[in-house]
Amino acid sequence: MSRSARLLDLLQILRTHRRPVSGVALAEATGVSLRTLYRDIATLQAQGADITGAPGLGYVLNPGFLLPPIMLSSEEIEALVLGARWVRANTDDRLKQSAAHALAKIAAVLPGDLRRELETSALLVPNTRRKESPERDVAALRDAIKAGVKLDIAYRDERAQETQRRIWPVALGYFEGLRILVAWCELREGFRHFRIDRMIDVTPTQEICPRRGEVLLAEWRRENGIVHDL
């Protein structure tokens, strides 16, 4: 592996962690000695990568440093194409359009051979998505999560019983043919999972959720034993 490729791998590893990663772990991941790892860190810092940390404390790549897309590997391109095609086949119109725009931006800066790989990828995604009613509610739910506002919903459960709920939206789960909203329910005083297709009505309120979205998401993950490194 060339040194430039090794430096790129090191950046990729750092970019996938929000918390400091030890020099030993980074050296093992990149297949070099600890001394070489420290030199590589220093080289990246000199090139403008905002890496903070020190031996014994670990290292973290701060947000804002962009990797050059021309360095994407063939399999990384396939992963991006597959993910974007899934989004275009299984989400709402706004996300579909954003996925298409993202691929177009990546294609614009790729060299010719890699651009052809992106445009001719043979990885296909079937459209297994159910039609939500109305579809615009999915985008509205995403907006509410970002804004951190409470929602009033009319919900029909599996026994066809209707209830009125005030909820704090936390996350959206995109499953095969099914969409789930994770939310804190004031009626049940706990996290609940609401199927989008069972929502009769969704009304954003002017009330801000008492706890930030990232705090609620972390609480839900702990409660469900979900580990998330990104």
| The two structure tokens encoding residue 216 | 């609620």
- pLDDT tens readout for residues 117-131: 888 888 888 766 555
Q: pTM for the whole thing?
A: 0.64
- Strand 162-175 relative to strand 58-61, pairing: unpaired
Task: Classify domain 3-61 by CATH architecture.
Answer: Orthogonal Bundle (1.10)
Under a CB-based contact definition with an 8 Å cutoff, are residues 206 and 149 in contact? Answer: yes
What secondary structure letter does DSSP report for 21? B
CA distance 111 to 69: 10
**Alpha-carbon gap, residue 129 to 93, rounded angstroms:** 13
CA 222 from centre of chain? 18
Write the pLDDT tens digit of every residue in 182-203: 999 999 999 999 999 999 999 9
Q: What 3-state class would DSSP assign to 43?
A: helix
Confidence of residue 144 (pLDDT cuts 50, 70, 90): very high
Q: Per-residue pLDDT averaged across 147-166, rounded? A: 94
Identify the CATH assignment for 136-224 out of 3.30.450, 3.40.50, 1.10.8, 2.30.30: 2.30.30
**CA distance from start to end of the chain:** 26
Chain segment 22-60, per-residue pLDDT in tens: 999 999 999 999 999 999 999 988 878 889 998 888 999
